[in-house]
Amino acid sequence: MNRFIYYLIATHMITNIVANVPKILLDKNDKGAITSMILGVFVGLLMTYIVIRYFTNSPGKDLPELMKEYMSKWFYYPILFFFSIVWYTAGTITLVTYTFMLDLFLTPEMAILTMVMPFLVIVSLGVLMKTENILHSTEIMLVLFLPLGIFVFTKAYLSKGINWDYVKIAIMHINHLPNYSAFTGSFFMFFGVVNIIVFNKYFVKKLSFGFKHILLVGLLAITVLFTTYFLPIGLGGFDDIDKLLYPWISTTDSIRMKFGIIERLVFLFMLFFITISLSTIVIQWHIAAKLLEKVIYFKRLNWKKNNLTPYLFVIVFSICAGTLTKTVTDYQLFKLSISFYNILPVFFLILFLSMWAVKRGAKS
């Protein structure tokens, strides 16, 4: 089961190549994006290491279980509720961003609700799967679509349109102090590993996680962040890149495949990113539902021996996401994601504190 933790990390990173992280980073291109990214990688790797090492010590147990064992109800109920909201928001922001993107670039005339509905149906069905099956479906998604991803990224890097002078200009802006939003944005790239707090239930065998593995995650993160930040600059220029609302779609739209089935590479990119992001959204909503189940559970809500609480959650989740898609504007969504990333350090503080409390409880 060791490999699944890397899937969790990788899917989350790939999803955020396109979603809101590049927009935030490129927005701060002359205000310290690079130093923020460097800082983000270090802090993110440290966080990854701590989280994984912590959970390898208790294989087969997820955080809610551990908290139930060693903490009082009054502590862990609000904490789990807060965590659930964090995961739900993370998934929803991705969902709404992708819906907006598709609406703008693929079918500008289509109503936004029709656009989001198929998404919601598929994600809802995914969320209702068993946790173990979600891991397996993520694996299938990655195995099927990673070759396509590697192809489109190779194509992008080999594109003649990249002017590396722009990239160098961006690097020459290294002499700025890190920016908080850019830091939390690049830190968010590492969020995938925290999914372990629920998925650890299925990591029964002890995970081995040493220097080699941290190096692997580090390399992946650096590649992903480099691609996220520098590829749009190489193709879109430096000075005005912060004015693009969806820099990554514009970037992929700048790559032409002369002898392909489709001349515009943007559609292949979209196919790749949408599938990967779907599994990320499924994972995040699933965790949100699982955590919420620990707090709110209607024992009587049964229908032919099946408890309907998860179904209820999924319906509420979908309705909230649908309403959000309909009401929120581009700019509000961007602001929302920035403030979400900005509160991430608080989230990690609470996570680490509760992990520490569990450990203390276990010792005494």
Partner 1 sequence: MSQLKKIKFIAMSIIFFFTTILSGCAFKDIDKRTFVVGIGIDPAEESSNKYKVTLKIALPIGSIKQASGPSYAYMSHESDTISAAIRIIETHTDKVIDFGHTKFIAISENLLKEDLETFMDYFLRRGDIQLVAWVAAARPSAEHILKTEPTTESAASVALFNFFDGNGTDSPFIITTYLYEFRRAVLGKGLDSVLPLVESNKDGTELIINKSVVVQEKKDPLELTSNQTQYFNSLIKNASGYSYKVSNDDLTLLLDIINFKVKFKIIEGKGRPPRVDMKVTVVATVLESSKRLSGSKIDEYNKLASNDMKHTTMDLLTFFQEKEVDPFGFGLRYRATRLNDKNTYDKWKGMYPDLEFDVKYHVEIKSLGAIE
Positive/negative CA dihedral, 92, 10, 240, 110: negative
Of the two residues 43 and 169, which places its CB atom closer to partner 1 in the complex?
A: 169
User: x/- contact string, 186-225, with partner 1 (CB under 8 A)?
Assistant: ----------------------------------------
Which residues lie below 8 Å from residue 309, measured CB to CB, with a gap of 6+?
A: 293, 296, 297, 298, 301
305 sits near partner 1 (criterion: CB under 8 A):
yes
Of the two residues 45 and 255, which places its CB atom closer to partner 1 in the complex?
A: 255
Residue 57 CB neighbours (<10 A)? 11
Of the two residues 196 and 255, which places its CB atom closer to partner 1 in the complex?
A: 255
312 sits near partner 1 (criterion: CB under 8 A):
no
Q: Least distance to partner 1 from the beta carbon of 210, Å? A: 38
27 sits near partner 1 (criterion: CB under 8 A):
no
Site for partner 1 in 225-284 (CB under 8 A): 235-240, 243, 249-250, 253-256, 258, 263-264, 266
User: How many residues make contact with partner 1 (CB under 8 A)?
Assistant: 44
Binding span for partner 1 by CB under 8 A among 4-12, 39-47, 71-79, 103-111: 103-111
What type of residue sits at position 339? S
Among 3, 130, 168, 360, binds partner 1 (CB under 8 A): 168
Among 140, 143, 144, 172, binds partner 1 (CB under 8 A): 172
The answer to whether residues 17 and 224 touch, using CB atoms and an 8 Å cutoff, is yes
Site for partner 1 in 47-86 (CB under 8 A): none
Among 169, 274, 312, 336, binds partner 1 (CB under 8 A): 169
CA–CA separation, 101 and 18 (whole Å): 10
Q: Least distance to partner 1 from the beta carbon of 364, Å? A: 44
Of the two residues 184 and 254, which places its CB atom closer to partner 1 in the complex?
A: 254
161 sits near partner 1 (criterion: CB under 8 A):
yes
CA–CA separation, 112 and 108 (whole Å): 9
97 sits near partner 1 (criterion: CB under 8 A):
no
The answer to whether residues 230 and 170 touch, using CB atoms and an 8 Å cutoff, is yes
Which residues lie below 8 Å from residue 187, measured CB to CB, with a gap of 6+?
A: 40, 43, 44, 47, 341, 344, 345
Q: Least distance to partner 1 from the beta carbon of 271, Å? A: 14
For the chain, the distance separating the N- and C-terminal CA atoms, rounded to the nearest angstrom, is: 31
125 sits near partner 1 (criterion: CB under 8 A):
yes
Binding span for partner 1 by CB under 8 A among 173-181, 276-284, 313-321, 324-332: 173-181
Which residues lie below 8 Å from residue 341, measured CB to CB, with a gap of 6+?
A: 20, 24, 181, 184, 185, 187, 188
Of the two residues 197 and 266, which places its CB atom closer to partner 1 in the complex?
A: 266
Of the two residues 246 and 341, which places its CB atom closer to partner 1 in the complex?
A: 246
Of the two residues 71 and 117, which places its CB atom closer to partner 1 in the complex?
A: 117
Contact residues for partner 1, defined by CB under 8 A: 30, 104-110, 114, 117-118, 121-122, 125, 161, 163, 165-166, 168-169, 172-175, 235-240, 243, 249-250, 253-256, 258, 263-264, 266, 304-306
